[in-house]
Chain A
Amino acid sequence: AQSVSQHNHHVILSEAASLELGCNYSYGGTVNLFWYVQYPGQHLQLLLKYFSGDPLVKGIKGFEAEFIKSKFSFNLRKPSVQWSDTAEYFCAVNFMEYGNKLVFGAGTILRVKS
C-alpha cells in the first residue's frame, strides 16, 4: 500500500533557527506532492505544492520544499522560523496511478519558542 512517512512527530525550535521537516513516500511512479499546515484552532491550509517542473518549490510565509525523485522525498524547509510558525505540518502525496488518492503523513507538530 502507498504510504507517506514524516520522520519527526514533535519538533521544538527556538526563533530564528532553521527548519527542515522530512517527508518520504513509498512509491516510484508519478506523484503530486503537498505540504499542508494546521495552525492552532484554524483550518488545514495549503503551504505549497509540486506537480511538475522546478523541483524546488516556494510556498507561503517563506517556506520551500525540494522534490528529490531518486530519494522519494519532499522535505520542507524554512531558513528562520518565527513563533507564529507553531503548528502541525502534514505532507501529502497524490499517487497518480493508484486512483489519485491523497495520502497523508502522520504530521509533525512544530513548537517555536520565543
Chain B
Amino acid sequence: DGGITQSPKYLFRKEGQNVTLSCEQNLNHDAMYWYRQDPGQGLRLIYYSQIVNDFQKGDIAEGYSVSREKKESFPLTVTSAQKNPTAFYLCASSGTSGDFPTDTQYFGPGTRLTVL
C-alpha cells in the first residue's frame, strides 16, 4: 500500500523542548517537502529536499531543521527557537522531472503539534 505516513497524528510538548516529526514515503519519490498549515494562511513551505543528503530552506525555515539521510525519510525537528510552533504540519513528496521536481505533490495525513 503506497503512500506517505506521518507520525504521530497528535503531539504535545512543553515549551522549550525540541520535537521531531516523522515522515516516510514508499512512493520512490526523489523530492520531499515540509509545510506548516495555519487557519486562514494556507500552507507555507518550511524545508524541501530534491535528493538524498541535500535540502533547502523554504519560506519559514527559522526554528526548524531537517535531515535527508534516506530517500524515503525526511524528519522535521521543531526546535525551541521556533517562536510559535503550535500548528498542523504536512509532509509531501513528488517525482522529479528534469532538474527540479515539477510533478504533483502528494501529501501525508499531517501531525498536529501543540506546545503547552
Contacts of B33 in A (CB 8 A): 102
Q: Name 13 interchain pairs, CB-CB below 8 A, sorted by A.
A: A34-B104, A36-B107, A44-B90, A45-B107, A46-B104, A46-B106, A100-B100, A101-B58, A101-B59, A103-B45, A104-B35, A104-B43, A106-B42
Task: Name the interface size band of chain A.
Answer: 20 to 34
A106 in contact with B102 given A43-B108, A43-B109, A101-B58 (CB within 8 Å): no
Whether B41 is near chain A, meaning CB under 8 Å from some CB there, is yes
**Shortest 3 CB-CB contacts between residues of A and residues of B:** A104-B42, A44-B107, A104-B43
A101 in contact with B104 given A9-B40, A43-B109 (CB within 8 Å): no
| Bound Cα distance from A100 to B33, whole angstroms | 13
How many A-B pairs have beta carbons closer than 8 Å: the answer is 46
Closest B residue to A106 by beta carbon equals B42
Interface size on B, residues (CB 8 A): 22
Whether A75 is near chain B, meaning CB under 8 Å from some CB there, is no
| Bound Cα distance from A113 to B35, whole angstroms | 31
Contacts of B109 in A (CB 8 A): 43
Main secondary structure of the interface of A (DSSP, over half): strand
Q: In whole Å, how far is A94's beta carbon from the nearest beta carbon of chain B?
A: 6
Contacts of A100 in B (CB 8 A): 100-102
- Identify which of A46, A90, A96 contacts B102 (C-beta below 8 A): A96
Chain A contacts with B in 51-90, Cβ cutoff 8 A: 51, 90
| Bound Cα distance from A31 to B35, whole angstroms | 20
Chain A interface residues toward B at CB < 8 A: 4, 6, 9, 32, 34, 36, 43-46, 49, 51, 90, 92, 94, 96, 99-107
Against A, the Cβ 8 Å flags (1 = close, 0 = not) of B87-116 are 000100000000011101111111000000
A90 in contact with B90 given A45-B107, A46-B104, A100-B100 (CB within 8 Å): no
Contacts of A46 in B (CB 8 A): 104, 106
| Bound Cα distance from A110 to B106, whole angstroms | 22
Whether B44 is near chain A, meaning CB under 8 Å from some CB there, is yes
Q: In whole Å, how far is A109's beta carbon from the nearest beta carbon of chain B?
A: 9
| Bound Cα distance from A80 to B109, whole angstroms | 28
